[in-house]
Copies of this chain bind each other. A is one copy, B any other.
Amino acid sequence: MSIQLEIQHVRHVLIRLEETIIFALIERAQFRRNLPVYETGRFGDALEGESLCGFLLLECERSHAKVRRYTSPDEHPFFANLPEPLLPPIGFSHNPLVPNRININTQIRHTYETDILDQITQPGDDEQYGSTAVCDVTSLQALSKRIHYGKFVAESKFRNPTAPLRTALADANAESVLAAITDAAVERDVLDRVHAKARTYTNELNQATAQTALPPAVIRDIYKDFIIPLNKQVQVDYLLQRQVDESAEGGPESSRDI
């Protein structure tokens, strides 16, 4: 269906998602930490047992499920038991991925609600709970998309494996796979680019509004400490499963009559 799923477009998508993530984090950072937004039961039992953030995310996913967002291979819901699509299914003829159920959104949400928010927000409470939670939903969805794009990166590496990756996959050794897909130079380029962008975007904002700064290095470090490692985790998970699938299908010991 979508050209955005083709492997040659992965790099472009990842670079463009940097803006989406930086904008989302800057938007969230205008509000305080606002801890009540993340406390289950804080607003009574009206929110289906969720925090305000969780409830808005759930409601958003319900809406988006109805218009078939989560049928797309580059989209991953945070919640299960979402409604069926109201729209007819579409084919994703450009989808290069093998079928998989890899979804680390639980971990992404936890990382966001604790580590990332601690770093991007000022402590305290400004009572802008609704606006805060709306920004959270945008941030979480952008982070999830960026991190799970690791599947497309991994598929590309699987199709053109380096020698160390080939060996690591043959051994089914997660640690070696992680080492084989890690390219320090590429990571440094990403971090430098994100840092430069963040500097531009936050500087402009700070000049215009005298808002307390969200330091560009913080955005860079969120990439370094969370986005890149989680993205690589998705790559490793995908590659290990991909290898098992491939062996089952094409390997000499494979048996198709399960």
- Partner-B contacts on A (CB < 8 A): 1-4, 12, 15-16, 18-20, 23, 26-27, 30, 43-44, 46-47, 52, 55-56, 59-60, 62-64, 66-69, 72, 86-88, 126-128, 130, 133-134, 138, 193, 196-197, 200-201, 204-205, 208-209, 211
Contact = CB atoms under 8 A, between A and B. Distances in A.
B4 A128 contact: yes
Contact of A87 (B44, B128, B193, B197): B44
Given A46-B86, A67-B130, A197-B208, 4 more contacts: A4-B128, A46-B87, A138-B138, A196-B204
A213 to B, nearest CB: 14
B15 A209 contact: yes
B18 A208 contact: yes
A204 B200 CA distance: 7
A86 B16 contact: no
Given A197-B204, A204-B200, A67 B56 contact: yes
B18 A27 contact: no
B15 A208 contact: yes
A2 B67 contact: no
Nearest to A126: B3
B208 A193 contact: yes
A138 B135 CA distance: 10
B72 A205 contact: no
Nearest to A20: B27
Contacts of A208: 15, 18-19, 193, 197
Nearest to A200: B204
A127 B3 CA distance: 9
Nearest to A48: B86
A69 B137 CA distance: 15
A44 B44 CA distance: 39
Contacts of A88: 44
A6 B177 CA distance: 56
B128 A2 contact: yes
Given A63-B63, A87-B43, A16 B4 contact: no
B86 A47 contact: yes
